[in-house]
Amino acid sequence: MPAQSIWTLLSWGPDGWLDDIAYGALITVALALATLPIGLTIGFFIALAKQSEESSLRLAANIYTTVFRGLPELVTLFLFFFGMPILLQHLVRYFRPDATIDVNSFVAGMIVLALIFSSYASEVFLSAFRAIPKGQYEGGYAIGLSNWLTMRKVIVPQLLRIAFPGLENCWLSLLKDTSLVSVVGLAETLRNASIAARVTKHAFLFFGVASLVFLGLAVLSSFATGAILRSLGRWEAQR
């Protein structure tokens, strides 16, 4: 192999690897963005259950967070990625004996990351719930709003504002956790970088580039969250 300069390796096109890594970065962002709404929704409902008066609901929600915060992300991922096809296969065999099932690594990653993200986000939501005084609910009921409307019009807008910094942290760790899905074969940033590293034998270069990609995404999201926070503030000031 002729010695290639670093700039050829990092160029766009068939000789370089920049396009592969950029494509991987796209997958990373797509995975994180696809996980976010699912994780936020589950996390919100878990937090609701945790501050409910009903002790059985609290118990169920606490088991959920204990399990998914206690298990290493990698173990959860492997359990799901290898265990789910076996389980589904057993179920499907009752109907179609010859069926085989493969779990898509993007979908498996999305589900596992959503489970983990939601258990962390639920703690953030829970402490935000506790920061909202009871009078806010009572005020909502007093002017005749229903349970649902009080939640939507009175509580959630304040909740989001309070929970935002915590959720930002959850988002950042979600972004970092997506790199684990490379282990089960999703062609995201880290996996493409390690393929490039193996082929070209420039491991430090390509893993360095991968870490810069993640760093860039972190910087980008801190700009984005800053902008969201500012617009939230403006929106609140207008009312």
Binding site for other proteins (CB under 8 A): 49, 52-61, 63, 66-67, 69-76, 78-79, 82-83, 86, 172, 176-180, 182-183, 190, 194, 197, 201-205, 207-208, 210-211, 214-215, 218-219
Nearer to other proteins, 14 or 148 (CB): 148
Cβ–Cβ under 8 Å, residues 211 and 25 = no
Contact 18, 12 (CB under 8 A): yes
Q: Check: CB of residue 158 under 8 Å from CB of residue 208.
A: no
Residue 60 Cβ vs other proteins, minimum distance, rounded to whole Å: 4
Query: Residue 28 has what DSSP assignment?
Result: H
Cβ proximity to other proteins: between 157 and 208 the closer is 208
For residues 5-27, b (16+ Cβ closer than 10 Å) or e, as one string?
eeeebbeeeeebbeebbeebbeb
CB of 19 to other proteins, least distance (A): 20
Q: Which is nearer to other proteins, 139 or 216 (CB)?
A: 216
Q: Smaller CB distance to other proteins: residue 90 or 230?
A: 90
CB of 175 to other proteins, least distance (A): 8
In whole angstroms, give the CA distance from residue 206 to residue 198: 10
Count CB atoms within 10 A of the CB of residue 83: 11
- Closest distance of CB 193 from other proteins, Å: 8
Q: How far is it, in rounded angstroms, from Cα 107 to Cα 46?
A: 22
**Minimum distance from residue 234 beta carbon to other proteins (Å):** 28
The residue among 131 and 236 lying less far from other proteins, judged by its C-beta, is 131
